[in-house]
Structure 1
Amino acid sequence: MKHPLESLMSAGGILLLAFFSCLLLPAPSLGLELAQRLVTRFHLMDLNQLYTILFCLWFLLLGVIEYALIRFAWKRWFSLDRHD
């Protein structure tokens, strides 16, 4: 039987792992020319808004990747529900 808060814990786990990753891994750095082109293409106010969006996306992407890897490792090697 699954725990009723499992989906909430999964989302919280993704965010927590992403937070730890952002502390360890730097976000991608855009060149000034590319950043200015992206600002005009997406009709943003300035470079600060672009980098805020970039950091948020980077934060979530790292969390999802780490969550998927840890979940795979858990189910593959550490889970007690294995059917060998």
Structure 2
Amino acid sequence: MKHSLEPLLTLAGILLMAFLSVLLLPAPALGLQLAQNLVQRFHLLDLTQLYIILYCLWFLLLGTVEFFVVRFIWKRWLAA
């Protein structure tokens, strides 16, 4: 019998793995000129705000990729 919170716990585990991967994999480094250009284009206050947004997007991207990779592996080879 499956527990009703099992899908939520699975997703939380995958997001935790993505969080650990984000800590291990460096986020894309922007050059100073490109970073200042993006700050002006998006009307941000400073470079800190830009890098916070960049790290959040990096976390979401890696979490999504890992979710689909782990789900594919699970369905392909591990699920009965």
With the length of structure 2 as denominator, give the TM-score of the two structures.
0.86
Partner of 1:27: 27
Partner of 1:4: 4
Separation of aligned partners in 1, 2:26 and 2:35: 17
1:39/1:45 contact within 8 Å kept = yes
Q: Which structure 2 segments of 5+ residues have no match?
A: none
RMSD in angstroms over aligned alpha carbons?
A: 1.7
With the length of structure 1 as denominator, give the TM-score of the two structures.
0.83
Separation of aligned partners in 1, 2:8 and 2:28: 29
Q: Any runs of at least 4 consecutive aligned residues in structure 1 with deviations exceeding 6 A, and if so which? A: none
Partner of 1:36: 36
